[in-house]
Amino acid sequence: MNKKPVKSLLWEKLDNNSVRCNICYNRCIIGPGKVSRCLSRKNINGEMSLNTYGMASSVAVDPIEKKPLYQFYPGSMVFSVGGWGCNFNCKHCQNWHISQNTLEHKGYYLTPEKIAGLAIRYKCRGVCWTYNEPAIWLEYTIDSAKLAREKGLYTAYVTNGFMTIEALDLIAPYLDAFRVDLKSFENGFYREICGVTGGKNVFKTTKHAKKLGLHIETVTNVIPGKNDSEENLENIAAWVAQNLGKNTPWHVTRFFPDYRLDYLEPTPLETLHKAEEIGKKAGLKYIYPGNVRSV
């Protein structure tokens, strides 16, 4: 299928025909013929090209609560779209088969126009970019979100929050909800578990999303022995209360072993009880335990 060329955003030329991507805080330097760590960018003759524009790995019609977004159009169905690659390499990723896939041109090509049309056909109220990190699809999500908005659909990101401020500024005018993972308050967790440095930048970008007026809900997947200390959970809860507001939902979800953390045990339910109490003590009004039937 012939695809309309799309201009890459937020990149700069460097010496020796290399380029730097400025969409996330990895700020990859990409040599000629090489791809970014997220797989979505490729350097062709010193020019940035889009390696995965429109190449969908997954589509589904979901309840918005599955994202999880509990206070954003509750009870509605959302058209969910996922791509290939990720700017993280999380050891516990449940979608590792698409987020860590290195094969180009898999899946199928889904135009922005098609996304809006399918959402309406299946009686969805909105569109959500999810399953892998949507920011690495920045140009595609902007094009798609513009069309979705024109059709009266809401738009949502399910994100790890590692996108730069300048990237968020580009998508924000067409984005309604920012469902963000606050994985840990410690940079060491992001280095060990997610394979990135400067993980605290997630909090900076999330604070900016609040300033821009996006609906925000936060998620912390609580992993035994990794980010479940009282100090870490207290720091996250306090930060949410102080910087996003006490009405901001905090989803504390149960970890289940997967990918390269398949040797760990699931999160004990008492740990989620502890997190819930910590959130209440910080003044948060909406704390939702997740990945459990009842706690």
pLDDT digits (tens, 9 = 90+) for 151-200: 999 999 999 999 999 999 999 999 999 999 999 999 999 999 999 999 99
Q: Tokens 């500024």 — which residue?
A: 169
The predicted-structure confidence for 18-35, as pLDDT tens digits, reads as follows 999 999 999 999 999 999
Please state the domain extents for the chain. Answer: 11-50, 55-290
Q: How many angstroms separate the CA atoms of 59 and 130, rounded?
A: 9
* Residue 210: both structure tokens together: 């609040």
Reply yes or no on whether the pLDDT at 295 is more than 50: no
pLDDT at 121 over 70: yes
Could you tell me the CA-to-CA distances from 252 to 121, 180, 237, 267 in Å, in that order? 34, 12, 10, 11
Where is 177: in which H helix or E strand? strand 177-181
Q: Judge whether residue 101 has pLDDT over 80.
A: no
Within 13 Å of residue 262, how many CA atoms lie on the same side as its CB?
Answer: 5
Question: Is a pLDDT exceeding 50 seen at residue 68?
Answer: yes
Helix, strand, or coil (residue 185): coil
Residue 107 has pLDDT above 50, yes or no: yes
Q: Whole-angstrom Cα distance, residue 98 to residue 184?
A: 23
Distance of CA 173 to the CA centre of its chain: 17
Q: What percent of the chain has pLDDT over 90?
A: 93
- pLDDT for the residue 223: 98
Cis peptide before 68 (omega within 30 of 0): yes
What pLDDT was estimated at residue 261? 97
The model's confidence at residue 5, banded by pLDDT at 50, 70 and 90, is low
Backbone angles phi, psi at 78, to 5 degrees: -130, 140
- Which CATH number applies to 55-290: 3.40.50.720, 3.30.450.40, 3.20.20.70, 1.25.10.10? 3.20.20.70
> Whole-angstrom Cα distance, residue 161 to residue 153?
23
Residue 61 CB contacts under 8 Å (≥ 6 apart), including other chains:
77, 78, 79, 80, 122, 124
Q: What's the average model confidence in pLDDT over 264-283? A: 98
Q: What is the mean pLDDT of the chain?
A: 95
